[in-house]
Structure 1
Amino acid sequence: MHILLLGATGRVGSHVLAQALQEGHQVTALVRSPEKIKSHHENSTIVQGNVLTQEDLLRGIHGTEVVISALNTDGTSTLSDSTPLLIEAMYSEGVQRIITVGTAGILQSRTEPAQLRYQSSESRRRSTRAAKEHERVFTLLQQSSLEWTIVCPTYLPDGERVGRYRVMPDFLPEGGTEISVADTAAFTYQQLTDRQYIHKRVGIAY
């Protein structure tokens, strides 16, 4: 499978890149700073560009079959500003499947089901800026005709891949408080072949 990977130099994205290459996929990584990708592989193509530039997105997505986006909010509106451009590029190239990494804040609240977690008393975070960015992406994907899945981890410490965790559509697994970067990346990668969470947000936690 030929994957367009966004956020390949980030914490989750770098794990996804390594696993996809290890298992024989072709990966095109669109990155602003190619020097941040330390290891190179015969099946990887590094495209220098910006997700806020339509031409760069079209160069990156050409010939691919699926998009994995592990972009973070990074204190800016880049995530939500780039999403309409990415959706248009996917339409243009006939790519239907997109898997993104979001946040548990955009899952439904258990205590106040009509609200998202970040809007409810369930959230422990003081700042809602990142969750609002991810909510904008969620809304844009809902309005699209794409086959999307949003992986929604809670607190993301570094750590080894455990391989055992709980997942739940639209809600965070009850009592879940954390999930490692490595396990989040592994679950995100699995969505390349697992179609049970199409058009779903998926909460993931130990």
Structure 2
Amino acid sequence: MHFLLLGATGRTGKHVVTELLAQGHTAVALVRNPAAITGRKGLTVVQGSPLNKADIEKALTASPEPLAVSAAIITLNTVRASDSPFAAQVSPPRFLADSCEAACAALLAHDIRRIVVMSTAGAGDSWKGLPVVSRAFMGWTNVKYALKDHNLVDQEIRQTDTDWTLVRPVRLEFDDAAPAKDMGILDSAGGGKLGMRDCAQITSVARLLVKIAVEGLYVKEAIVVRD
């Protein structure tokens, strides 16, 4: 399969690229800074903004023939001034929602409906499944701005004519060397079983995103995932 990737230079997105290429798929990545991604066989890199529908459409037609995009994987996240949860938000308030809106519009204009979006546990109806301490953390620190944006994506993508899937990992662990493992899949609310120790390795999340996109799983569903 041939994929459109938004967020390919991010900490999870780069593992999505590696996983796709390792499985023999190809991809086109729309990135704001091409220097931030290593060129590889099977990967086409296009410079542009995920907020710009024209840039996304440019990426959809940028790969050499006969490659044609059949699905998109989005691993974008909001940006803070630092990794501190108290750091100021740098990206626009609707960065995720507007990027997803632009992507959906561009994909549908090219008759492409499959889109897999990495969200977060706490978005939508999974909020009630979080431990009280996690809800307090997300509600009182500047993480709340990212959560608000994820919630907008969650609400708005359901109004589109795309075959969407929302993947909501619990607290991410950023060990690039960790082997990818099978993940626990919970319903959209987290099954009421989420705990403070729950985590999700980015390598495992990346592999699951690819599996869901390739195999057409969980269409028009949101799922919570953890190691």
Taking structure 1 as the reference length, the TM-score comes to: 0.89
Change (3 A) 1:95 1:203: same
Contact preservation (8 Å) 1:71, 1:79 = yes
Cα deviation for residue 106 of structure 1 reads 1.1
Cα deviation for residue 195 of structure 1 reads 3.0
Distance 2:128 2:202 in 1: 21
> Percent identity among equivalent residues?
28
Distance 1:164 1:83 in 2: 27
Question: Residue 29 of structure 1 corresponds to which residue in structure 2?
Answer: 29
Cα deviation for residue 45 of structure 1 reads 0.4
Cα deviation for residue 91 of structure 1 reads 1.1
Question: Residue 49 of structure 2 corresponds to which residue in structure 1?
Answer: 50
Question: Is structure 2 residue 150 aligned with structure 1 residue 134?
Answer: yes
The amino acid across from 1:164 in the alignment is D
Question: Residue 189 of structure 2 corresponds to which residue in structure 1?
Answer: 171
The amino acid across from 1:71 in the alignment is L
Unaligned runs of 5+ in 1: 110-115
Match of 1:148 among 164, 176, 185: 164
Cα deviation for residue 10 of structure 1 reads 0.3
Distance 1:149 1:44 in 2: 23
Contact preservation (8 Å) 2:124, 2:154 = no
Q: Give per-residue Cα distances to partners, 1:114-139, cap 9 Å, x unaligned.
A: xx349994624223211110111111
The amino acid across from 1:85 in the alignment is A
Question: Residue 188 of structure 1 corresponds to which residue in structure 2?
Answer: 209
Question: Residue 73 of structure 2 corresponds to which residue in structure 1?
Answer: 68
Contact preservation (8 Å) 2:3, 2:71 = yes
The amino acid across from 2:152 in the alignment is R
Question: Residue 113 of structure 1 corresponds to which residue in structure 2?
Answer: none
Q: Give per-residue Cα distances to partners, 1:158-190, cap 9 Å, x unaligned.
A: 121351331112022523421111111111111
Cα deviation for residue 79 of structure 1 reads 1.2
Cα deviation for residue 199 of structure 1 reads 0.9
Contact preservation (8 Å) 2:74, 2:118 = yes
Distance 1:165 1:5 in 2: 22
Aligned residues: 199
Shifted more, 47-56 versus 117-126: the winner is: 117-126
The amino acid across from 1:47 in the alignment is V
Question: Residue 9 of structure 1 corresponds to which residue in structure 2?
Answer: 9
Distance 2:42 2:209 in 1: 20
Distance 1:13 1:34 in 2: 14
Distance 2:185 2:129 in 1: 19
The amino acid across from 2:56 in the alignment is L
Cα deviation for residue 43 of structure 1 reads 0.9
Contact preservation (8 Å) 1:104, 1:117 = no
Shifted more, 90-99 versus 125-134: the winner is: 125-134
The amino acid across from 1:90 in the alignment is L
